[in-house]
Structure 1
Amino acid sequence: MTRCRLCGSAALGSVVDLGATPPCESFLTAEQLDRPEPAYPLHLRVCTDCWLAQIPPLITPEETFKEYAYFSSFSTSWVEHARVFVADAVQRAGLGPDSFVVEVASNDGYLLKHVVDRGIRCLGIEPSVNVGAAARDAGVPTLTEFLSPDTGAAVRAEHGPADLVVANNVYAHIPDVVGFTQGLRALVADDGWVSIEVQHLLTLIEENQYDTIYHEHFQYYTVASAIRALASGGLTLVDVELLPTHGGSIRLWARPTAAAGEPSGRVAEVLDREKAAGLQELSGYAEFSARVAKVRRDLLKFLIEAAERGETVVGYGAPGKGNTLLNHCGIRPDLLAYTVDRNPYKHGRYTPGTRIPILPPERIAEDKPDYVLVLPWNLRAELVEQLSFVHEWGGRLVFPIPELSIVEVAR
């Protein structure tokens, strides 16, 4: 990578280098275990002109998202988050029976099903064939396509302009930031709303959330860099919300520039927080790499000592972020016997790079391990409740991020 993908600057400074890893969602079948497995550099840099943090676009979205292993509906808390969002968005945007809502990267319809339930016309734009099919089976109209300016214009021509365009957890997943943003503008009505949720670089840095750096995430936003990105497509930020999702996210509310008006006071407040944290100067990122290295050392020390005591450690979850952690730490089945996941698509497969078996969740109760390493730490409250049964044999939960934490589950 020699130039920023947003502003074209060559002034890119290193934030953290995680070595080389396979694509985080490329789960292996048993037949693939004896085949070569490609790995790609995972080096996060930040542009010191526009402050967009980014990794090189070594893997195209087409390689990752045509067949996808992540189904949003398997997270109970995420479906509820979507329900609450839809209720709030209906009020903010004044949506009614004659409105039209488009969600980009709509996955399996986890969000738009709440729009359908309200009798509001909607359309999902989802590039993954398998999850898009699941959405249609659930009654959510879905177009299998990547968003581009041409796609946005074609949808607008066929269905009319959207009163609300939703782009949750996708703005980091596209290397062509400018083209994608132009696609959002093509979709939305001249007086409409665009809502984007994306992980906040501020909390990623402050909370050591380095496992959310992976090849599907091409860039990492502050509000300051998001303002620059939105402007590239003719959109203006009018409000921002700080959310707890994914360890700390921002919800960006934008409108076409001519209809935007003055931004809310919350925009200035978050910009001030980012500046105070040093995220608009390279020195503000200096300590992050050292804190990442400590997470790795602490987790490996725990796993090695547990193995030497003859104790069993298994994993819970097989999220993309977990594969960054497992590969960076060099964890193999001798230290983590297996992991489990609620998604049947992953059962019988193996984690990329580390080749750890993925089994159904019921296996934990059968085997009664001493420790359960929770890989989707961002769902901590939900999973502490789901895994409360491990207290029956004295098992404990382990959370690796933001620092190693061993939890006695309440009896």
Structure 2
Amino acid sequence: MRCRLCHSGHLTSVLDLGATPPCEKFLTEAELDLPETTYPLHLRLCENCLLLQIPALITPADTFVEYAYYSSFSDSWVRHARTFVQQAIADLSLGPDSLLVEVASNDGYLLQHAVAAGIPCLGIEPSHNVGAAAREKGVPTVTAFLDEDTATRIRDAHGPADLVVANNVYAHVPDLLGFTRALRGLLADDGWLSIEVHHALNLVRLGQFDTVYHEHFQYYTVASARRALATAGLTVVDVELLPTHGGSLRLWARPDPVARPRPRVAEVLAMEESAGLHSAAGYSDLQDRAEQVRAELLEFLLDCRAAGRRVAGYGAPGKGNTLLNYCGIRPDLLSYTVDRNPYKHGRYTPGTRIPIHPPERLDADRPDVVVVLPWNLETEITAQLRHVGSWGGQLVYPLPTLHHANLAGAESGSRS
């Protein structure tokens, strides 16, 4: 394996999660008696440029032609997108003569707000099923993977973009250098690029190992993202620290000739350096943190089983499948999980084969414990599931350390 950013052969192991199936390959009932292919899930650090990365063992086409994730099923994520669009319109003076392009636009969760504001926009989305959902909302969407040829065709047809948005996609591309050039190809010479991506600072500092899965090929600090963007003549001019996805970066970049970096870039770089992430030594504790989370969660679930407590899950996100597979959790410890996405109903989690039901199943069964797999949405999900306390149930989050949600205010009985 060579670094996909600088091509160095000097990569060191920082987290080995064994072998798992692709995290979004949910199984139908007919597939339960068939074998599953698993791939090593092994995170390495380039000692030269400090890019965190896993081997590209599956292709984007394996995952994204038909995709199980619909962004709009997270209310907080839709609100986050609406706030971003409103602020970008104001800050960048976008209007009816502007063009906003989103790469990996999913089901129109973000661009629907541009359409409502009268801002010309275009989504580029490779998954035919979620792209169709965007078009049903009135969001213009091209079904394609972004590469340099696609960027050229779109620019020729629609003109250069004043703003290109790439939310939670910069980690999903194995051809990092070509994709970065394609982003630049979409952009006007005085345009703006906004990238949101999980911050590797939180991955390492908080032990968020379940953020690692096969469709995430690399994991960024500001330092490594800045190096990657520079390969296409783009300069990071501002950085925002966001609470989304357990702690994310919003990177603002512009073409080099018009780039004027703001103080926050240097401030976040200094924060990363203080955490030790500008040298290989800063990543040395990640394996131990993952093993500690696994031990705590398994001990809790085994205690529940010994006490006869019924345990169900909430959510079936990609990160949850990394957690379940790494910990070896199967239906004997987590009898089922529920999810708001109808696409997943009646299917089973990859590898661990835990059945997925609609959320109403929780109200019918009233389990003693509900383990929330998308722990990064704790505020939103705790509000949605506060009523679990009314039957004496507990809401448990496995990360960053195992903890119970405060369900105060719910009418609760006592159940042990």
**Structure 1 letter corresponding to 2:380:** E
Tell me whether 1:248 sits opposite 2:240 in the alignment.
no
Task: Give the C-alpha shift of residue 204 in structure 1.
Answer: 1.0
- Name the stretch that deviates more: 230-239 or 124-133: 230-239
Give the secondary-structure state (helix, strand or coil) at the position aligned to 2:405: strand
Distance, in Å, in 1 between the alignment partners of 2:400 and 2:250 is 22
Task: Give the C-alpha shift of residue 207 in structure 1.
Answer: 1.3
Q: Which residue of 1 aligns with 2:294?
A: 296
Superposition map of 1:362-373 within 5 A: 362-373=360-371
Distance, in Å, in 2 between the alignment partners of 1:275 and 1:10 is 24
Distance, in Å, in 2 between the alignment partners of 1:382 and 1:170 is 23
Superposition map of 1:225-264 within 5 A: 225-261=224-260, 263-264=261-262
Residue 357 of structure 1, aligned match among 355, 358, 361: 355
- Measured against aligned partners, the alpha-carbon deviations of 1:132-161 in whole angstroms (never above 9, x if no partner) come to 011001100000000011111110000000
Are 1:93 and 1:192, in contact at CA under 8 Å, matched by a contact in 2?
Answer: no
**Structure 1 letter corresponding to 2:249:** I
- Measured against aligned partners, the alpha-carbon deviations of 1:339-382 in whole angstroms (never above 9, x if no partner) come to 00000000000000000000000000110100000000010000
Superposition map of 1:257-296 within 5 A: 257-261=256-260, 263-296=261-294
Tell me whether 1:119 sits opposite 2:118 in the alignment.
yes
Q: Which residue of 2 aligns with 1:402?
A: 400
Tell me whether 1:384 sits opposite 2:379 in the alignment.
no
Task: Give the C-alpha shift of residue 407 in structure 1.
Answer: 2.7
Task: Give the C-alpha shift of residue 408 in structure 1.
Answer: 4.1
Superposition map of 1:75-224 within 5 A: 75-224=74-223
Give the secondary-structure state (helix, strand or coil) at the position aligned to 1:239: strand
What is the TM-score with the length of structure 2 in the denominator?
A: 0.98
Task: Give the C-alpha shift of residue 406 in structure 1.
Answer: 2.0
**Structure 1 letter corresponding to 2:203:** L
- Measured against aligned partners, the alpha-carbon deviations of 1:8-61 in whole angstroms (never above 9, x if no partner) come to 011111111000000000000000000010000000001111111000000000
Distance, in Å, in 2 between the alignment partners of 1:143 and 1:301 is 48
Distance, in Å, in 2 between the alignment partners of 1:143 and 1:207 is 37
- Measured against aligned partners, the alpha-carbon deviations of 1:302-332 in whole angstroms (never above 9, x if no partner) come to 0011001000010000000000000000000
Task: Give the C-alpha shift of residue 252 in structure 1.
Answer: 0.4
Distance, in Å, in 1 between the alignment partners of 2:284 and 2:162 is 42
Distance, in Å, in 2 between the alignment partners of 1:231 and 1:244 is 26
**Structure 2 letter corresponding to 1:26:** K
Instruction: Say what the alpha-carbon RMSD is for the aligned residues.
Output: 0.7
Distance, in Å, in 1 between the alignment partners of 2:74 and 2:288 is 32
Distance, in Å, in 1 between the alignment partners of 2:185 and 2:16 is 36
Structure 2, unaligned runs of 5 or more: 411-416
Q: Which residue of 2 aligns with 1:5?
A: 4
Q: Which residue of 2 aligns with 1:45?
A: 44
Q: Which residue of 2 aligns with 1:315?
A: 313
Q: Which residue of 1 aligns with 2:330?
A: 332
Give the secondary-structure state (helix, strand or coil) at the position aligned to 1:120: coil
Are 2:375 and 2:399, in contact at CA under 8 Å, matched by a contact in 1?
Answer: yes
Q: Percent identity?
A: 67
Q: Which residue of 1 aligns with 2:26?
A: 27
Are 2:50 and 2:280, in contact at CA under 8 Å, matched by a contact in 1?
Answer: no
Q: Which residue of 1 aligns with 2:414?
A: none
Distance, in Å, in 2 between the alignment partners of 1:401 and 1:27 is 23
Distance, in Å, in 2 between the alignment partners of 1:100 and 1:93 is 11
**Structure 2 letter corresponding to 1:29:** T
Are 1:48 and 1:280, in contact at CA under 8 Å, matched by a contact in 2?
Answer: no
Distance, in Å, in 2 between the alignment partners of 1:347 and 1:150 is 37
Give the secondary-structure state (helix, strand or coil) at the position aligned to 1:41: strand
Residue 373 of structure 2, aligned match among 352, 372, 375: 375
Are 1:236 and 1:257, in contact at CA under 8 Å, matched by a contact in 2?
Answer: yes
Distance, in Å, in 2 between the alignment partners of 1:9 and 1:95 is 41
